Structure 1
């Protein structure tokens, strides 16, 4: 009888503390911007029971949390042995490089392919060299991508011909005379026009001036505006706008480096079939789990969208696109997991588009499925750990005990959107619950932006501390 009474007393205390914590959390959420929409929810993994919920909506832009669904669909459909393949082929006097949308392909990989041709004694190509881009079709940027970010590398286009992550590193230097200097390594075939100037802090505030980037045709860029006087150069990264032109120019450089000549041209497109075609050499990417690890830990948009288009190509036996890729994701998820995505609006696989929408309840169902089948899927271990790895390593709300290391999760950020989904671990290192944090339309006032710690940081800390405390009390 005494044990029963003690158990009841403990349960009553636990529920009382839980209720008080939830009330404190609701008070803290009210410190966010007045028109914010949010959904905080946690479910026990052993029972699917909701252990925490505070929400004023259910339908949100997922941002990069969508990558979890893309990873799940890719694992189900493509399998762990999947690798992107880039093939060098020959047909009579013509050669072709058959691209597959490999987001990890480097210039050195193409050089290795052509070197194998040279090692066969071919130093003079009597026909054309085709860059076969037929694996994908349609737009290389999805609808709803931010137009003002197309020149930066997280918005690099997804093409059948991806090379060097479709991204060129550069730097800009301020000068005392008021002008600036831009440095682009000479091996990258892009052109940057510099119209920017160096200013003091006071000049910057008076002129309301900042550094601007315009991306134009044929990988031409214009830098304008103001750069604050600084001792060290400012690193820049330019997203390649025309991946085919970029690769075409790189191929000419490689041929020159290898002292190989060509009678015809380096052409874009699929060559017509004339005579027998055979494969000379193949470059393979790393296997799917390693691709997914980078996609999830680094929140790599190019990897996610290349896999999305590949899912469309494999599922429907046609050139991959955003349209058939997202249709394939919906079909794969529903047919395998039983979770319907019919009400979800998906236009890419990376979550970069502002047009994506999904219900928080749907994402919780996806996470529950991943947990129950993770012995086969092996996806949870690919997620970043709070305050330890990937995009969560330096997230302010997750860097200290007890939150540090206690979450395996995927973040997602767009303008006004701050999401996090994943799993909570107890002290024994066992996942005990899954959670969704979806916040959108959060536009803090100047006073909120200046506050330290920021209101959003405090909200997140309160939420995850409560979930971790629940995990420890129920261990």
Structure 2
């Protein structure tokens, strides 16, 4: 590889020296490898923010535009989950309540309505917290609690109340191409099955053949899907679903493998509150409890005039796993929905209602008072919005603050680990960085980022963040570039 002269650096890459004079830059292999990486032609017009610091001594190992605030994709989940550890506590649990109005007569008939009061729990029926085939077990446990109350028949409705999050639909900045797909499922006061449904397709024998959408699970009454998916000579799912919250006109484009009798494409549920009500109504029926009238949602009841809830009595309280357990899944598997619920729940506990916007303001204000947050612009909890931006400096200072707090080890435990687990399991295998570099990854079109902790070979504990925008190489190549930085950090 040819090395550029100092004059060439000044002429071609003057931005390298804008933020920091040459004699002030850290003189380490980590710093020089970052600078050398930016000479690659595919990164020539990219924006890069990189910062590495020894968390014990405060020594800066690398600084390349550390204050540059950039979209970082899912690395934003670190801000959400760190904030939740500090503001909610690792032992926090979401609660969903089964309640009723009216009275239970001597025959076991409830002359009133049965309510599901959502508390924002994202784990209800989640594939990350239940075994396959057991996703509905919690609904039958709820039905058993209704029977234990002496209720044999309901002369009323099942009412699903997911109003805690104020029906915001999607966080600001989410794009049309994301929100219909499973990873673009928005937060709701009542969430079920990861707010995800499955489109089942039968594909043709040859490339270009049309496909048949045979069914959707769980059942979503009234939904109409325009199917423009074709069969392909490929093993990949290249189908994309388009639709909006509470809309029942959806369409799906792209291609899926040919010669499949039941190929599954994952999509978001347009109205999780309604699906929760319908699923519970069915569980009650299967448990021998007849419900006289149709399911209602609180959103429906509030459409025309404000609905005033009658006095309610409690039957059962369902508690989620501990927040620390949910955060582990959120960061290691990069689950957007969980991150959004965590952010909304911060708003609930501080303001009495769930809101992405309000939760983000609370987080930014919290960190502004701790480490300064002028370089943090937060519009959602997951990083799916391109309106988010953050600098490497902020992420490292936040990681340092957490390291000194009682929650630093918990945050580290929640991260992926190079060569071992989560979204970084395939990285740095067989190298010094394997098992030493903890992190949260972030990826979207022309955005790649990592941030976390490093346990170096010499026993140092580092905080690091690297964010690259607008590169022209593949995501795979960009990951390889960053792996080089990780190896040098681990070897320090």
Cα separation, 2, equivalents of 1:442 and 1:292: 30
Contact 2:281 2:291 in 1 (8 A): no
Question: Is the partner of 1:319 in helix, strand or coil?
Answer: coil
Counterpart selection for 1:196 from 229, 237, 245: 229
> Which aligned pairs between 1:226-375 and structure 2 lie closer than 5 A?
226-229=255-258, 234-269=263-298, 272-275=308-311, 277-316=312-351, 318-335=352-369, 338-374=370-406
Count of matched residue positions in the alignment of Structure 1 and Structure 2: 434
Does the alignment pair 1:390 with 2:422? yes
TM-score, normalisation: structure 2: 0.80
In the alignment, the residues of structure 2 paired with residue 439 and residue 266 of structure 1 have an alpha-carbon distance, to the nearest angstrom, of: 48
**1:391-410 equivalence runs, <5 A:** 391-395=423-427, 398-410=428-440
* 8 Å contact from structure 2 (residues 171, 357) kept in 1: no
Q: Does 1:72 align with 2:101?
A: no
The equivalent residue for 1:7 is none
Q: Is the 8 A contact 1:219 1:240 kept in 2?
A: no
Q: Given the alignment, which residue of 405, 412, 425 partners 1:380?
A: 412
- Aligned pairs for 1:405-416 (under 5 A) are 405-416=435-446
Shift of residue 407 of structure 1?
Answer: 0.4
Partners of 1:408 and 1:20 lie apart in 2 by 20
Residue matched to 1:213? 241
Q: Which residue among 30, 37, 44 is the counterpart of 1:28?
A: 37
Counterpart residue number, 1:469: 491
1:100 to 89, 107, 119: 119
Per-residue CA distance 1:21-43 (angstroms, 9 max, x = gap): 74454233222333210022211
Report deviation, 1:185: 6.2
**Structure with greater helix share of residues:** 1
CA contact (8 A) 1:138 1:322 kept: no
CA distance in 2, matches of 1:433, 1:35: 29
In structure 1, list runs of 5 or more residues that go unmatched: 1-16, 202-209, 471-475
Would the aligned equivalents of 2:30 and 2:489 in 1 still touch at CA under 8 Å? no
CA change 1:121–1:458 in 2 (3 A) is closer
> Could you tell me how far 1:171 is from its partner in structure 2?
4.4
Structure 1 residue 170: Cα displacement: 4.1
Q: Secondary structure at the match of 1:378?
A: helix
Once superposed, what is the RMSD of the aligned Cα atoms? 2.9
- Take 2:49 and 2:92, find their aligned partners in 1: how far apart are those partners? 36
Per-residue CA distance 1:184-215 (angstroms, 9 max, x = gap): 465533655534332458xxxxxxxx644332
Contact 2:73 2:449 in 1 (8 A): yes
Aligned match of 2:168: 139
Q: Aligned to 1:59, what secondary structure does the other structure show?
A: coil
Give the whole-Å Cα distance in 2 for the aligned partners of 1:455 and 1:185.
37
Over 3 Å counting, the alpha-carbon distance change for 1:386 and 1:394 in structure 2 is same
Indicate the larger mover: 284-293 or 321-330.
321-330
- Give unmatched runs, 5+ long, in structure 2: 1-25, 103-111, 126-135, 302-306
The verdict on how the C-alpha distance between 1:303 and 1:226 changes in structure 2, with shifts beyond 3 A counting, is closer
Give distance in 1, aligned partners of 2:258 and 2:190: 39
Partner Cα distance (1:403, 1:183) in 2: 47
TM-score (norm 1): 0.83
Offset of 1:70 from its aligned partner?
Answer: 1.2
